[in-house]
Amino acid sequence: MMMRERTLCSFVMLLIGIAVLLSGCTIKKISELDEQQGDEYSTWTKSGKAFDPVAYVDSIWDTKLIPAFKEESCDFETLLAALKKDPETATQEYGLMSKAGGMGVTFKITGSARVVSYDDSSRNGLLLLDTPPYEGTVDAKMQVGPVIRNTAIRDSVSFIRFTEVGNQLQFASLADELNARMKKEAVEPLDLSSIAGKEINYYGAFKLEDDDSLDDVVITPVIIEPTIAGGA
């Protein structure tokens, strides 16, 4: 009998202890915790919807991304000269550091060039460019695909933030979709088979990783416009 009373007493004391502990706790719903995260998670994640890179690019390409390039790009030759003279100052003035913990810096550029040739020896097709004054030499490279390497377009504009997307895989899918949109808008209208010798105006971006030199620059275009002199 005495044993049963001790057991009952211990059980009652345990319940009292649990009640005291719980009285000091505040239980919150997951939605309330999400709201406190601020911008740490995107609205896509909060709403429970999967990130749609096509819809996102649709929403920014003409209204935000292209205007940003037209308003903020530096002349390509001017930028190269500045990088050769004082890389640190030029990077601070014209560059944007990579996002989501990435390495390197990205630059938005504009310029004119004459196409020396179209190199389709690999799937990362390149326009080999002669920049003014035109001397027939290859001064720059511009990738036109079908394979587009790196994330220069995504990383060149400050309004595209990792926190708006949700995770690394989705952020990578956004870069892929931006590259795909570039090919559709800037490259597909061109006749690459006859573009050699023609002059173009362009807007684009290039990315320099920590170990890259200026000889490694490859421009990723967002706009390619054949000039009247160069033809369509």
Confidence at residue 210, expressed as pLDDT on a 0 to 100 scale: 77
Confidence at residue 228, expressed as pLDDT on a 0 to 100 scale: 67
What does DSSP assign to residue 51?
A: P
Position 47, amino acid: S
User: Which pLDDT band holds residue 134 (cuts at 50, 70, 90)?
Assistant: very high
Helix (H/G/I), strand (E/B), else coil: 112: strand
Lowest-confidence pick of 2-16, 141-155, 173-187: 2-16
- pLDDT at residue 133 greater than cutoff 70: yes
Nearest to 230 by CA among 128, 127, 115: 115
Confidence at residue 26, expressed as pLDDT on a 0 to 100 scale: 43
- pTM across the whole model: 0.77
- pLDDT at residue 216 greater than cutoff 60: yes
Tell me which of 186 and 229 has the higher pLDDT.
Answer: 186
Please give the mean pLDDT across all residues of the chain: 83
Q: What is the mean pLDDT of residues 103-109?
A: 91
Percent of the chain with pLDDT over 70: 75
Nearest to 107 by CA among 117, 97, 99: 97
Instruction: Give the separation between CA 98 and CA 128, rounded to whole angstroms.
Output: 26
Q: Where are the domains of the chain?
A: 39-226
In the CATH scheme, what is the homologous superfamily, with its name and number, of domain 39-226?
Answer: Envelope glycoprotein gp160, DUF2291, alpha/beta domain (2.40.50.420)
